[in-house]
């Protein structure tokens, strides 16, 4: 299986990874495991920074007792008093104003790591890469595409040494129908030793590529020639 390099009269042999069987179920499983959630939780002392401590005593003939006042036994704070007469308001518990939350999110919840075995990870990554070379998956993700495009899209590594506008010019000349799509949601995959900076689309190195970068399957991906060679060496 061969593919043409954009803007050049040259073809290269594609590695077997682009012909891998696409397992959507495994890709979804690994994608869920790779998700990164931003931990969040309320302040530890939220709703507890007041003078209410413990429950009001509910016994007879005691000073500062709630017995005989028809009051629920919740922690309370005194706003004012006259002798043995108190004006209390509930505090601290979740059913009171300004109290703590009943069941707040906890940091421990975000520290759980789903374990996936190495073979499944490799299978999912191979499937995700193969989906970028599949007309069916790319059209399924980008429903506005009408014409068939030559997949996978490969550029000369020399373009990475030039300015961003040179790369965009090559994409525009060779891929008019996908130019706008690739600018908005596209991904550029480069070799380990290559570098390229731009804010127009995402850039990932081959050794840093993950299923979450390619999911949902069929993402618009442009590979550098060096990146394709390194994918062939990957085991």
Domain extent listing, the chain = 2-37+113-233, 42-104
Question: 102: helix, coil or strand?
Answer: coil
Residue 176 pLDDT more than 90? no
Residue 53 pLDDT more than 70? no
Bridge partners for 153 per DSSP: 222
Distances (CA, A) of 10 to 155, 178, 188, 211: 11, 21, 20, 29
pLDDT at 55: 64
In this prediction, residue 235 has a pLDDT band, given cuts at 50, 70 and 90, of: low
Q: Which CATH class is domain 2-37+113-233?
A: alpha beta
In this prediction, residue 183 has a pLDDT band, given cuts at 50, 70 and 90, of: low
Q: Look up the pTM and report it.
A: 0.72
Separation between Cα atoms, residue 22 and residue 187, nearest integer Å: 19
């Amino acid at each position: 299986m061969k593919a043409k390099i954009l803007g050049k009269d040259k073809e290269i042999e594609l590695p077997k990874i682009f012909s891998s069987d696409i397992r959507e179920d495994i890709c979804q499983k690994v994608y869920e495991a790779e998700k990164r959630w931003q931990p969040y939780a309320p302040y530890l002392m939220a709703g507890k920074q007041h003078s209410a401590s413990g429950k009001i005593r509910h016994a007879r003939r005691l000073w500062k007792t709630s017995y005989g006042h028809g009051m629920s036994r919740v922690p309370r704070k005194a706003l004012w008093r006259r002798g043995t007469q108190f004006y209390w308001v509930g505090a601290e518990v979740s059913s009171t104003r300004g109290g703590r939350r009943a069941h707040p999110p906890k940091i421990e919840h975000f520290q759980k790591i789903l374990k996936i075995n190495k073979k499944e990870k490799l299978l999912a990554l191979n499937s995700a890469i193969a989906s970028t070379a599949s007309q069916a998956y790319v059209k399924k993700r980008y429903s506005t595409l009408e014409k068939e495009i030559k997949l996978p899209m490969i550029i000369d590594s020399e373009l990475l040494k030039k300015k961003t506008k040179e790369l965009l010019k090559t994409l525009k000349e060779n891929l008019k129908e996908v130019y706008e799509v690739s600018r908005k949601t596209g991904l550029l995959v480069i070799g380990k030793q290559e570098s390229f900076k731009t804010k127009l689309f995402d850039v990932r190195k081959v050794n840093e590529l993950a299923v979450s970068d390619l999911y949902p399957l069929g993402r618009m991906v442009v590979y550098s020639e060096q990146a394709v060679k390194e994918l062939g060496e990957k085991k």
